[in-house]
Structure 1
Amino acid sequence: MTDSSSYPRFAILVAGGSGTRMGADRPKQFLELLGEPVLLHTLRRFAEASLRVTQLVVVLPADQFAVWEELCARHHVQIPHTVVAGGDSRWASVRNGLAALGQPDGIVAVHDGVRPLASRTIIERAFAAAETYKAVVVAVTPKDSVRNLAQRGSYALNRSRLRLVQTPQCFDLDLLRRAYQLPELPTFTDDASVVEDLCPIHIVDGDYRNLKITTPEDLILAEALLRQER
């Protein structure tokens, strides 16, 4: 592969969450955001033609397939995508998503299905950087002061040296597959933590607007940000 146009691009959208912290009656990926499911907003971000993503994989719990199919019919979704059953953990869900990709090489983005505000600029930045560095995360600097809990009290950390990690996280496809052949560990909190023993993780600037829908307040903020884009 010698130029960016020769790198096939793929995306795995992991949407295995519940509505527990939202206090909702449905999984948070299916909550309405300006009248449409959160997950549909996310799917559209990666389906933008200029990003050249050749295969989109949505990972859902198997018992949510019918709900997603009904929502796609209701909202006339025409975006081609593959739906894959998730596993008992995020690690297992990403591994199942990888298994749905038939290509031997390329760049794959792994993204939270409940991050519906990732901009085209951020996604492109991560894809492009992964062509050089093979393992890339988008991240932002903490706005607040940060303290580390110690046995006696706490102490301040230098926030200029800390980053809050977001998604997408983009990887050389072969690298990510090799990483996911290793046993799952409790220290795996995201894909970068799965890969970091095999390859250094490169950080590119994220966006504070690229929030993850976790609490009711997040949904309110996401709606306000989406209205600004329209």
Structure 2
Amino acid sequence: MQKIAIIVAGGAGVRMGSATPKQFLLLHGKPVLQYSLQAFLDAYDDLKIILVIPEAHFDKGNQIIEDLQAAHRVTMVNGGETRFHSVKNGLAQISLQNWLIANTAVNKSEESAETQNAVVFVHDGVRCLISKELIRRCYEQTIEKGSAIPAVTATDSIRIMENGIPKVANRDNIRIIQTPQTFLSNLLLEAFAQTYNPLFTDEATVVEAANHPIFLTEGEYNNIKITRPADLLLAESIISGSQQ
């Protein structure tokens, strides 16, 4: 089945306190974004990537793609006003005729609708420590269930504010959601045909709003999102440890 990763890298790096967007900050000498792209390229030889970044940074994106020698596998598109709109811009590149049927010898009179589907990963470009194993786990579960949303159990004490009063929550019931949020393309394309709602915080909420269930899969604690300077230091430490 066709595999497509939409990697969203539209952050401005405000919380990082840097003039350089966080996806382009250097991590062990390479841009953060490069690690994310490399992981997906390595996970499957037949996987294609749609890289969604602000048009003002296309030069930086092209340089990363060139360094990875991946121009034949990566398409770059402009980001949108919100994450929803950025992902929608990426999905606009997924045409059943151009991406799926053209890449599969399909006899429309004989092949089932399944052959015209694809597995679509949507990943935060700054989750640069994602493993090939997690990518493959998401793919396999999506084939089976239609979706795979990586999540890890909360390890900190959790309190939920109710009318200004902090109330203890059972952390065993709390899941911290990660990416790549992975779906069959028919579900995702249908869901993103909806009108934007500010309550859409990720792709799972969009799919649920289209009345489709979502299914969690085990995430990875190292699959951190680079948001603040401390995150970059942690990522450097994890990479250094893995190289020993």
TM-score, normalising length from structure 1? 0.92
Alignment of 1:16-165 (within 5 A): 16-48=10-42, 50-73=43-66, 76-79=67-70, 80-102=73-95, 103=100, 104-165=116-177
- Could you tell me how far apart the structure 1 residues matched to 2:49 and 2:164 are? 48
Residues 25-58 of structure 1: per-residue CA shift (max 9 Å, x gap): 211000000000000011000001x434431110
Shift of 1:124: 0.7
- Could you tell me how far apart the structure 1 residues matched to 2:240 and 2:175 are? 28
- Could you tell me how far apart the structure 2 residues matched to 1:210 and 1:53 are? 23
RMSD: 1.3
Question: Helix, strand or coil: the match of 2:4?
Answer: strand
Residue of structure 1 in register with 2:108 after alignment: none
Give identity over the alignment, percent. Answer: 39
Question: Helix, strand or coil: the match of 2:160?
Answer: strand
Judge which range, 17-26 or 100-109, deviates more.
Answer: 100-109
- Could you tell me how far apart the structure 1 residues matched to 2:52 and 2:136 are? 22
Question: Helix, strand or coil: the match of 2:94?
Answer: coil
Residues 76-117 of structure 1: per-residue CA shift (max 9 Å, x gap): 220231001111110000011011123242100000000011
Residues 118-144 of structure 1: per-residue CA shift (max 9 Å, x gap): 111111111110111112200000001
Change (3 A) 1:88 1:229: same
Change (3 A) 1:122 1:59: same
Which contiguous aligned blocks of 4+ residues in structure 1 show a shift greater than 6 angstroms? none
Residue of structure 2 in register with 1:176 after alignment: 188
Residue of structure 2 in register with 1:215 after alignment: 228
Residue of structure 1 in register with 2:104 after alignment: none
Residue of structure 1 in register with 2:113 after alignment: none
- Where structure 1 has 5 or more consecutive residues not aligned to the other structure, the ranges are 1-6
One-letter amino acid of the structure 2 residue matched with residue 112 of structure 1: D
Shift of 1:194: 0.3
Shift of 1:159: 1.2
- Could you tell me how far apart the structure 2 residues matched to 1:85 and 1:16 are? 9
- Could you tell me how far apart the structure 2 residues matched to 1:78 and 1:152 are? 53
One-letter amino acid of the structure 1 residue matched with residue 216 of structure 2: I
